[in-house]
Structure 1
Amino acid sequence: MSYLKFDKEELVNLEYSLVREVLATNKTGGYLNTTLVGCNTRKYHGLFVLPVKNFDNRRYVLLSSLDETLIQHGREFNLGIHCYGKNNYEPRGHKYIVDFEFDKYPTITYRIGGILFSKSMLFLHNKEQLLIKYTLLDAHSATTLRLRPFLSFREIHTLTHANDDADRGYVTVENGASYRLYDGFPTVNIQTNKQNDYFHNPDWYYNIEYLEEKRRGFQYKEDLYTPGYFELPIKKGESVVVSVSTSPVAVKGLSGVFTREAARRISLQSYDDCLHRAAKQFIVNSGKGLKEIYSGYTWLGKGLRETLIALPGLTLFADGDTAQFEDVLESTFKIYNHQLLHGSKQVDAALWLFWVIQQYAAFTGDAQGVWLKYRTRLKAILKSFLDGGRMGVSLADNGLLWVRMNGVAMTWMNAYDKDGVPVTERSGFQVETNAFWYNAVCYMIDMETKYGSDTRFVYQLQAVKDKLDASFYNVFWNEERQHLADYVDENGQNVFTRPNQIFACSLDYSPLSEEVKGKIMEAVKRELLTERGIRTLSPKNSLYKGIYDGNQDQRDHSYHQGSTRVWLLTYYIEAMLKLYGGMSVRRASELINAFEEDIERHGIGAICELYDGDPPHNPHGAISSAVATASLLRSEYLVNKYKQTEEI
């Protein structure tokens, strides 16, 4: 029996099934994403979504959906479902669904009287090809299968509408047809592994609604183009494989391709299986030998900070894949070299690289080898901070980094309101940026002293460290609150209780005493810790937003003002283990395993981007988040390592 499984009662209840989404990727940036019952509720949903080279590799929904109809004795049973307004769903194919399961791939089973029929979908890895296998499990009469594609050919953040520019023609290919609605796009080739009859009857379906976009305050109505439909007979016990691809394929071997590809997939039989499968979906081969990390599916892109935060968890701590770790890191150097050496609007991103290298050294046990491999690059980054050549950041006389770029939020708390004003600008001395700065300085001193030869640079850094040892606590500690200030500017300390201070407790090098760390952890536990991660702001704060909902501006105002983040959890758990040792293991395991309850919510088999700060902590944001997934995998690794060695 599959670990991820839903029954008829759950599936026919659209309030239940439409808020649970399926995701499959091809490891080159393409994906399949829809709801359990196949009714698209987001503009990001589609069966065949790919990055298009001619358009800067932006992702486009090419095939929105493929509606199936079973025909017996002239009676038609349409299995598709689209929303045309409140409670107006046509056709209502979901009423025939009796089972959904996701093992190696998603499979939906339908029953219509004496007909038992299944659909399985498999997006091939490293190819622009989707396979859909239809099986007639049972039938007592001659049966015909009709397939009607709905094409959109538009960028994932936009919607399309009926227009005269769309090419309404087609080209015949083996057992199928090829379409390209607009110049510059790849073709979409729809083929079957057995002969079919194609009926070309181009038309537009108007005003299909996407409920999630309506709820989020965006445009939500779209027109979809259908070129016609395919019909073919299907016998009891027979399987028909449909291929959707950007180039015509040989149809004879499609059934074997499906079988061989499925054999290579992870069977999802546990929570851990789901985490490991999810981890591999974020790492994509983006061309020219580069491997990158998508921050999340389906609308999040790629970025330096998110890549570095997620990398160790998705590779080292997922399955010990050091080769993939190095491949992604080398690609990161090539893509983000300027940002690493000269700065960007992500002020702390370059300092995260030191943490990444520390993770690698600890994982391999080869501190010297790892240091020598990356020493030159790390040294250049530190020099750029010392020399004052980085965007928006300067080294103050007290050794701390002062960060300011007016009108720009340079930390991970980087939401903007509808007028383009940062919701949480946090200019000045930022607590997490300076915790990472201290960690980087100390790591360089330690490693260069042991394995290097640049004593002059060590002396220079030692002078900075001495200043930090004297200033960090005095600048950030707030005696009344018994925790660190979130940032300090010309007006003094901002003492909002936020999670950024956790890093001063979790990083390998910290200017704080164990006693002070303990007080910080108590404050975080008391005001920020939830069963779904760490809140971004204390509920005691007047700016706290406990529910992440509303239009874009309302959500942006709650994005870092109370919503709960999974990715922060691993640093809390790491600090727990360092401070409290064995007595924290049980609680750490509870926090990690609590997410198993959510593996069948939002994005099934995936860990989402964020949760409400208020109970019951409903899931929101991207259905599958790289940093959240990496956090849980790293946390599991740390707990298991501590159980074995009593060290992390």
Structure 2
Amino acid sequence: MSHAGVRAIMERDAEWLEADGRGGFASGTVGGARTRRYHALLLAATRPPGGRVVLVNGLDVWMETPSGTYPLSTQLYLPDVVFPDGAAHLAGFARVPWPRWDFVLPDGTAIGQELFVARDTAETVLRWTCAAWTCAAWTGTAGLDKEGVGPWRLHVRPLLSGRDYHALHRENPVCALGSAVREGCVVWRPYAALPAIVAAGNGAYQPEPVWYRNFLYRAEQARGLDDVEDLASPGRFTFAPTDGMAVLILQAEGGQDAAGPAAAQEGAAERAEGLARAERARRAGAADPHGVAAASYVVGRGGGRTILAGFPWFTDWGRDSFVAMRGLLLATGRLEEADALLCLWAGLVDGGMLPNRFTDAGDVAEFNAVDASLWFVVAVGDFLDAAAAAGHAPRDAAVLAAAVEAILDGYLRGTRHGIGCDADGLVRAGVPGSQLTWMDARIGDRPVTPRIGKPVEIQALWINALFIAGRWSARWAPVERAARAAFAARFPDPASGGLFDVVDADHRPGATDGCVRPNQILAVGGLPCPVVEGDLARGVVALVERALLTPLGLRSLAPDDPQYRPHYRGDPAARDAAYHQGTVWPWLMGPFVEAWLRVRGAGPAARAEARARFLAPLQAHLETAGLGHVSEVADGDPPHVPGGCPFQAWSLGELIRIERMLAEARNP
């Protein structure tokens, strides 16, 4: 595929995100068509940040003018039919301060459509503006029963489901399509077990239940997943407001500051404007240029804070939270939230391990990562440094120190999955059938990259964790010295000039894995103290730059390796097979840039070169896939088409860290 062809697809299918801070969100495409099962206007977390359900998938919208009727929405149906094609009238799109579409109809009528999610109340607010409305004749009274008689009318049909956000919805007799008008709002409850949907607006509502069948989701089709859905529409709003603005506010019943009664009392337009003012102020007050995007990932859990790994399908993962928080929270000065996050996770240490994720069903903790706990220790160290520099008093430094000690003690004694400190001072990990590092893809019961033994980045994390704990306890210094000596003796790979990826591979003493992977970069950059320096560090950076560097991040495997997969695409098995076998990971650009500066020096010339070579492509990417965000992965081969989650926490976090380190005059 040509670069121009890829760019055209990105422009049409680029995605926007509006998160509610509780695990719910609204998302969609610039072109208006829903291409994923996750694209929705009201997607709520019933057990924040989990229990996500899709309530309002989208809208069917059309405009009546004196010259005819024209669609503003775009729908995609089987087998590959676009109808209607509202995007044909799309004249412009802006993502700041929130998504806005400008339409120009064939008769010259100009209509603006905007959408935002109010973070304080989890309401989705939609507003349409049209100058022609103020010229239309009008009769009737305020409220839902008013009837416009002017020639310009906007018609809006909500499209509902009521399903788990990973599932799909089909027409069925259980789905209730009735409408209830309550306190000036319309209420729908398709399924009794799920929250009702409350809609408030300044238009007239008419119950007209119908089913829309066979929507096609192209992105799901490309991922080899079920891709067809039916949606229910209980009725239609008609707007012809004299103030030139049509308003529709959507919320899941039971949400904080429920929209319904408030909107009815204030008037929907006034309610929407008040929410808009609050959101503008919040977004304008972000301390960092990426502050609004960064805040999307930070949510509450159990009275504390945590970080969602990515949108639209990830929840909070331990490893991702600790990597991402350094950019999303520490680099943006959000120390209170970082404090709350670390204190929350500190209480989850069990047997020296932290959970790496929570199951969707019941939020059960899963302890299946060797690196998540060590990344927590690194995050604690970075937080304490940032807090000291900012004069922030940690809410409970003793709790954080105790959690760090418990983790290191657990690794020293030995814990789950064969994780433990070996006689040489290095950490061994893994049992047959397990995949404990961040390279954790599996096909069925088979790990793709098990990396059993002593993986290189685990040793770098272990040594850094020992160094951090050594600040308050001298007992860790001898363990750190032993681990450093063993690393220096065992990991240099004379054949590549870099480092082995795993030593004592498969727990076979002396066996090594010499695959050229990006994990070795963490021995030079990305962590508080480098594990290797001098010529060996320069060799590692040179090898990674030569074999793995792309404009969007580092490949997970060198292209000359027989196992290399150039593209991340296809069904789940094909994607999992490529996930860590050549696929590019943007988050690794942070450790690489830090390592590159450490071996080159961080003078003005080096920083200018790094900004042009490494930072500029990532910044350009902000305007392509997930708008304002950085994707999870990209193809290993040019043109490095983005894939995976279009909104990934640690990818954005590391971009923020790169910008910060390149703006600083001091050596990193």
- Partners of 1:596 and 1:388 in 2: CA distance: 43
1:241 and 2:241 matched: no
1:518-557 counterparts in 2 under 5 A?
518-557=538-577
1:47-58 counterparts in 2 under 5 A?
47-53=41-47, 57-58=50-51
Assess if the C-alpha contact under 8 Å between 1:384 and 1:390 holds in 2. Answer: no
The residue aligned with 1:333 is 346
- Partners of 1:467 and 1:546 in 2: CA distance: 39
Assess if the C-alpha contact under 8 Å between 1:278 and 1:624 holds in 2. Answer: no
- Partners of 2:247 and 2:436 in 1: CA distance: 49
Which of 189, 206, 217 is the equivalent residue of 2:224?
A: 217
Q: Deviations over 1:471-528 (max 9, x none)?
A: 2122222111111111122171100000111111123344434221111111111111
SS at match of 1:560: coil
- Partners of 2:59 and 2:399 in 1: CA distance: 50
Which of 575, 592, 601 is the equivalent residue of 2:615?
A: 592
1:297 and 2:303 matched: no
- Partners of 2:351 and 2:648 in 1: CA distance: 23
Question: 1:108 Cα deviation (Å)?
Answer: 1.0
The residue aligned with 1:321 is 334
Assess if the C-alpha contact under 8 Å between 1:105 and 1:262 holds in 2. Answer: no
- The 3 A distance-change label for structure 1 pair 257 and 202 is closer
Report the residue type matching 2:550 in the other structure: T
The residue aligned with 1:190 is 199
The residue aligned with 1:580 is 600
Question: 1:572 Cα deviation (Å)?
Answer: 1.3
1:56-75 counterparts in 2 under 5 A?
57-73=50-66, 75=68
Assess if the C-alpha contact under 8 Å between 1:202 and 1:227 holds in 2. Answer: yes
Report the residue type matching 1:584 in the other structure: A
1:167 and 2:173 matched: no
1:263 and 2:270 matched: no
Question: 1:170 Cα deviation (Å)?
Answer: 2.1
SS at match of 1:516: helix
Question: 1:435 Cα deviation (Å)?
Answer: 1.2
- Partners of 1:272 and 1:221 in 2: CA distance: 42
Question: 1:189 Cα deviation (Å)?
Answer: 1.3
- Partners of 1:14 and 1:619 in 2: CA distance: 14
1:143 and 2:165 matched: no
Specify every segment of 5 or more residues in structure 2 that has no aligned partner in the other structure, as ranges.
137-150, 254-259, 356-366
The residue aligned with 2:96 is 103
Q: Deviations over 1:413-440 (max 9, x none)?
A: 00111x3211100000111111111111
Which of 493, 502, 510 is the equivalent residue of 1:478?
A: 493
Question: 1:25 Cα deviation (Å)?
Answer: 0.9
Specify every segment of 5 or more residues in structure 1 that has no aligned partner in the other structure, as ranges.
1-9, 450-457
Question: 1:254 Cα deviation (Å)?
Answer: 3.3
Q: Deviations over 1:37-72 (max 9, x none)?
A: 22100111111111123x993211110111222223
SS at match of 1:647: coil
Assess if the C-alpha contact under 8 Å between 1:175 and 1:195 holds in 2. Answer: no
- Partners of 1:368 and 1:117 in 2: CA distance: 48
- The 3 A distance-change label for structure 1 pair 465 and 14 is closer
1:29 and 2:23 matched: yes
1:242-641 counterparts in 2 under 5 A?
242-247=248-253, 248-249=260-261, 250-251=263-264, 252-265=266-279, 275-286=290-301, 288-318=302-332, 320-334=333-347, 336-338=348-350, 341=353, 344-365=367-388, 374-417=400-443, 419-449=444-474, 458=475, 461-488=476-503, 489=505, 490=508, 492-506=511-525, 507-581=527-601, 582=603, 583-590=605-612, 591-641=614-664
Q: Deviations over 1:319-342 (max 9, x none)?
A: x121111112222224x3337547
The residue aligned with 1:5 is none
SS at match of 1:338: coil
1:199 and 2:206 matched: yes
SS at match of 1:151: strand
Q: Deviations over 1:13-53 (max 9, x none)?
A: 98454421111111111111111122100111111111123
- Partners of 1:65 and 1:342 in 2: CA distance: 38
The residue aligned with 2:187 is 178
- The 3 A distance-change label for structure 1 pair 328 and 137 is farther
- Partners of 1:146 and 1:429 in 2: CA distance: 62
The residue aligned with 2:84 is 91
- The 3 A distance-change label for structure 1 pair 167 and 372 is closer
Report the residue type matching 1:279 in the other structure: A
- Partners of 2:386 and 2:339 in 1: CA distance: 13
Question: 1:358 Cα deviation (Å)?
Answer: 2.2
- The 3 A distance-change label for structure 1 pair 181 and 532 is same
- The 3 A distance-change label for structure 1 pair 574 and 17 is closer
- The 3 A distance-change label for structure 1 pair 138 and 169 is closer
- Partners of 2:23 and 2:252 in 1: CA distance: 14
Identity of aligned residues (%): 26
Q: Deviations over 1:389-426 (max 9, x none)?
A: 34431221111111112211100000111x32111000
The residue aligned with 2:360 is none
Assess if the C-alpha contact under 8 Å between 2:342 and 2:380 holds in 1. Answer: no
After TM superposition, the structure 1 stretch with the greater mean CA deviation from structure 2, 567-576 or 65-74, is 65-74
- The 3 A distance-change label for structure 1 pair 266 and 614 is farther
Question: 1:448 Cα deviation (Å)?
Answer: 2.5
- Partners of 1:572 and 1:600 in 2: CA distance: 23
Report the residue type matching 1:115 in the other structure: T
- Partners of 2:179 and 2:392 in 1: CA distance: 61
The residue aligned with 2:118 is 124
Q: TM-score, normalised on structure 1? A: 0.89
- Partners of 2:530 and 2:516 in 1: CA distance: 20
Assess if the C-alpha contact under 8 Å between 2:15 and 2:30 holds in 1. Answer: yes
Report the residue type matching 1:240 in the other structure: A
- Partners of 2:606 and 2:547 in 1: CA distance: 18
- Partners of 2:289 and 2:60 in 1: CA distance: 28
- Partners of 1:358 and 1:647 in 2: CA distance: 19
After TM superposition, the structure 1 stretch with the greater mean CA deviation from structure 2, 427-436 or 593-602, is 593-602
The residue aligned with 1:453 is none
Matched residues, number: 615
- Partners of 2:270 and 2:239 in 1: CA distance: 20
| Aligned-residue CA RMSD (Å) | 2.6
- Partners of 1:340 and 1:19 in 2: CA distance: 44
- The 3 A distance-change label for structure 1 pair 393 and 78 is same
Question: 1:556 Cα deviation (Å)?
Answer: 0.7
SS at match of 1:234: coil
- Partners of 2:203 and 2:388 in 1: CA distance: 58
- Partners of 2:267 and 2:182 in 1: CA distance: 16
The residue aligned with 2:236 is 229
Q: Deviations over 1:294-349 (max 9, x none)?
A: 1011011111111111112111102x121111112222224x33375477211111
Q: TM-score, normalised on structure 2? A: 0.87
